Chain A
Amino acid sequence: MKAIMSVGALIGVVGLLLLVGMILDIVPSNTVRLVEGYMPVQMLLELALFVAGFAGLSYMMTAMGMTFPRFWQGILFWAFILLYLKFRVYPPIPFSVRAMYGTVSLVAVFMWVSANEEDWKKFKQPIMNILDAQTGMNKLLRYAYLIVLPILIGGFSYNAMVPKSEEPIELRTVHPAPPASTKVHGKTYTLQTSQNPYRVNPEGKYDQEYTNANIVEQGMGRLMKPNANPWDKDAQGYLKYVREGGEIFFQNCHFCHGDNLNGRGLHAFAFNPIPANFTDPGTIAQLQETFIFWRVSKGGIGLPNEGFPWASVMPPWEQHLTVDEIWKVILFEYWHTGYYPRTWD
């Protein structure tokens, strides 16, 4: 038991040191990387590790005769969560969301300290001691609180009222509802029935299963299947179209959407919001191929009114690409990210 707890304590101390390092900017915040796509799970796991570490730490301290008052445990744990959310997670979480998490964890901490009568008593004991002020030390503390609290609260409210120039918060619809049909280069495409003419099997028939078998593999790196190289000289049909789509992508799209289709292209840093990240399971993996066709063809300017505030510099690619080229680029995007387009059924 003691061994397990001391391991826990060690984890707690190391984790705390890392976090303090990050807060003070000594340890770069990407020392332990948050992996794209796994970030929420990773955060939960890290927090669980911390909790285990703190449990161990508290156990060890009690064993060594240095019991940590429950009151401070609660307060410090809550402070810890707030600091973790602010300094550990990158890109930063907006304040409004952090405030939400903060409230939820405050409630959780309250539930923990008031789980039973005895715990609750332990928790509120230090507060009562200060209020009653029966020792000299407590008396001193009481006066200190009497003076410091109003100053702090006054200071906070002044801070809140002084005019500041923070960027206005902006929400937007990520995937607005598509129209029933779209007209590109003079031809009307019904989104529900149109198909990517290049998603074909060796017989030349539309075949999702065949093409899905040839996309890159999921997992770190997302590498192509060993025997499905679009750059093979003999590549025909689907794989050849993938290569042609890739050529168009790397002449037009990668400037924003990035070499790895993760929205971090050469010019992406200049734009706000940053370009769509196709490796994120929330983008093309969730959408039908015809939806992508509509968005690529019509661009940001073609967004419907619900798509407000249209914060997109995506050009209507029909002005630069042919219909065939657009379909091939879409084919490439699904191939390279290893996702399947969603189907209508």
Chain B
Amino acid sequence: MKNSFSLKAGALLTTAFGIILVSGSTGSLTFAQDALPEGFKKSELAPEPSADMIEAGKRVYFTKCVWCHGVDGAGDGPGADRLWPRPRNFNQGTFKIRHTASGELPLFDAKKPIPGQNDLFETVTHGLPGSAMPSWEGILTEEQRLQVLSFVTTQLVKDRKFTDKQSEAQTVLQLEGLKPIAASEDSLKRGSELIVEKKCVECHGAEGRGDGNAFNLKDDWGFSIQPADWHKCWNFRGSRQDPYNVKNIFRTFSTGVNGTPMPSFADNSTVEERWHIANFVNSLCEREADGKPLSIDPLTDKPKINFVVSSGVVEGEIPADPEHELWKNRARRYVAMGGQITHKPRNFVNRIDDIWVKSLYNDKHIVFMFQWDDRTKSVAEGKLPWAPTQVNVDVKEQDPKTGEEGSIASHQNNYTVYNDAIAMETAVKWKELPAPIKPRYLFGSNEQYPVDIVKWEADGSLRAFKGTGWDKDFEERDTYEENIKILHSEWKNGRWTVIVQRPLGNKKDQDYDEDTFFEMGQYIPTVFFAWDGHNGDAGRKMAVSAFYYTFLEPPTPREAYIYPVAIAFGVVLLEGWVLTRRSNKRKGKTL
């Protein structure tokens, strides 16, 4: 750890020397000006926080932070080993989200909690989405947040000193003074060229889903790390609870992310170029069909969830091509996924945190289109460690001590590869379940009220299982498999698109006691599962959603056209009656 840091510092020094030598030889006198990247300005180091602040901050730290960041701030608290990305190790003074130039300490001033001038304060205030670091606003007061940062920056940052003018300098990105360039078509086009020119795509992938040739990237501490998926801007660490704001992307691109392979592009791109890139990256983030940003739930900082997956009716054949008009025009639903951490083997770090679902139906079939981002296409190489049907597998979960072999963090990107997969679970005989019709979470109520699971795997298989209860193994269901069909499956630039067709269900061809029957206008409880084969996901080690409802949109009934007209006519009559009464009364009075 130490070594990598000093190496880095050495490299920095050498570069600095190089610059001095070069500028010396050309005889330039405006060295300081030249060395500054465009858009940056030198600034003074902040004064040391008071001893009172530091002491008070210790109390905050040991109540709230120690559990993940550890007693010495080395990012090794009790929670650390089951988190990915891991909690920050403060000791080296390496912080990701900053306004300062690459390699420099972030801005922190215990007396100035001003947005844009206090990076660490903003990190604590807004949290780091996509990681376990929550937003502490509303939990800790402003004062408490400044106190705890005073403690962290003076006591837990050990290798560097925030106030040491000899070793530290601050070159600050003047973000407020730089006017963003409008995201015009030209700007986006220039941005799309620049991300290739600047080699962004090498790590972030051709479509920016973080699927470039960067699979084995490591951070300064040797822990695996993955490039950002530009399509999920709400997971950007530096999104500051304002994910569609292009300034955040501009800042990260200008300053780089310390401690990770993401460099600063300030030296080799102009401010204008950076705006074009930021505009383009921002334009890739998922949006509504009309181009508006998705509405973000302020409680979770993720897109708002609607739990009804509605299926649209189609006359005739349902297309197998995802580019078909019918699919393109179909509304999609955001389905949030969490790790399955209730049954062994538990999945604390699910890599798939959302999927997009669309659905269409005709008189015979219902078809689901699943799309989700997965940085790696995984087709099983090794034998599964446990049967895909098995639950409560007796695996030794690692002794959660930081630094030990076999911890989740040291395992990342190092698993035997299994199949990527997606599955949907629907309740069987849901009509007979008492209201609200939901089986006992998660895997069916019992033998009488089972669930029906249809699972697609990246090796091209489509299988059906039956779930009969919480701690029960799934049962294979060969009888249903001949009824279901893969219409399309493709992994392209970090995104899977899978289209699966299944029967609506009727008593003649299907088994009412084992298969889900889909009915128009009814709410059918549905759960989604997802597996990332490169994450060691197999069997119950997977990502799960909550209960959603599949809803087959019924056509508008005739009554909806008749009754309103009748009602409106009734209102006209009522109006006539009131007016007549009033005028009679008045006449009576005046007479």
Using a CB–CB distance below 8 Å, which chain A residues touch chain B? 28-30, 33, 35-36, 90-91, 131-132, 145-146, 149-151, 153-155, 157-158, 161-163, 165-170, 216, 220-224, 226, 229-231, 246-252, 254-256, 258-260, 262, 264-272, 299-301, 308-315, 319-320, 336
Residues A33 and B551 in contact, CB atoms below 8 Å apart: no
Chain A residue contacts of B516, Cβ below 8 A: none
B116 within 8 A of A: no
Chain A residue contacts of B71, Cβ below 8 A: 231
A-B contact pairs, 21 of them (CB 8 A): A28-B298, A29-B298, A33-B137, A90-B298, A154-B564, A163-B554, A163-B555, A163-B560, A165-B549, A224-B63, A254-B67, A254-B79, A255-B341, A260-B139, A267-B339, A268-B338, A269-B297, A272-B305, A310-B441, A312-B441, A313-B546
Instruction: Pick the most buried of A161, A223, A254, A270: most chain B CB atoms within 10 A of its CB.
Output: A270
Residues B557 and A163 in contact, CB atoms below 8 Å apart: yes
Residues B78 and A223 in contact, CB atoms below 8 Å apart: no
A251–B402 Cα distance when bound, in Å, is: 12
Residues A231 and B66 in contact, CB atoms below 8 Å apart: yes
| Chain A min CB distance to B533 (Å) | 20
A251–B132 Cα distance when bound, in Å, is: 12
Contact of B567 among A157, A165, A216, A315 (CB under 8 A): A157
A250/B297 contact (C-beta < 8 A), A266-B132, A269-B302, A309-B438 known: no
A313/B342 contact (C-beta < 8 A), A161-B557, A161-B559 known: yes
Residues A167 and B298 in contact, CB atoms below 8 Å apart: no
Chain B residue contacts of A165, Cβ below 8 A: 308, 310, 549, 551, 553
Residues B134 and A258 in contact, CB atoms below 8 Å apart: yes
Closest to A315 in B: B342
A259/B567 contact (C-beta < 8 A), A251-B400, A264-B300 known: no
As a 0/1 sequence over residues 334 to 351 of chain B, the CB contacts with chain A under 8 angstroms (1 = contact) are 001111011110001010
As a 0/1 sequence over residues 359 to 370 of chain B, the CB contacts with chain A under 8 angstroms (1 = contact) are 000000000000
B563 within 8 A of A: yes
Residues A170 and B575 in contact, CB atoms below 8 Å apart: no
A282–B350 Cα distance when bound, in Å, is: 31
Chain A residue contacts of B470, Cβ below 8 A: 301
Contact of A269 among B132, B300, B547 (CB under 8 A): B300
A299–B556 Cα distance when bound, in Å, is: 43
| Chain A min CB distance to B474 (Å) | 17
B442 within 8 A of A: yes
Closest to A151 in B: B568
A167–B526 Cα distance when bound, in Å, is: 13
Residues A226 and B59 in contact, CB atoms below 8 Å apart: yes
Residues A150 and B306 in contact, CB atoms below 8 Å apart: no
A153–B244 Cα distance when bound, in Å, is: 39
Residues A168 and B297 in contact, CB atoms below 8 Å apart: no
| Chain B min CB distance to A335 (Å) | 10
Chain A residue contacts of B300, Cβ below 8 A: 264, 268-269
Chain A residue contacts of B294, Cβ below 8 A: none
A28–B442 Cα distance when bound, in Å, is: 36
Chain B residue contacts of A155, Cβ below 8 A: 564
A251/B82 contact (C-beta < 8 A), A221-B60, A309-B436 known: yes
| Chain A min CB distance to B471 (Å) | 8
| Chain A min CB distance to B567 (Å) | 5
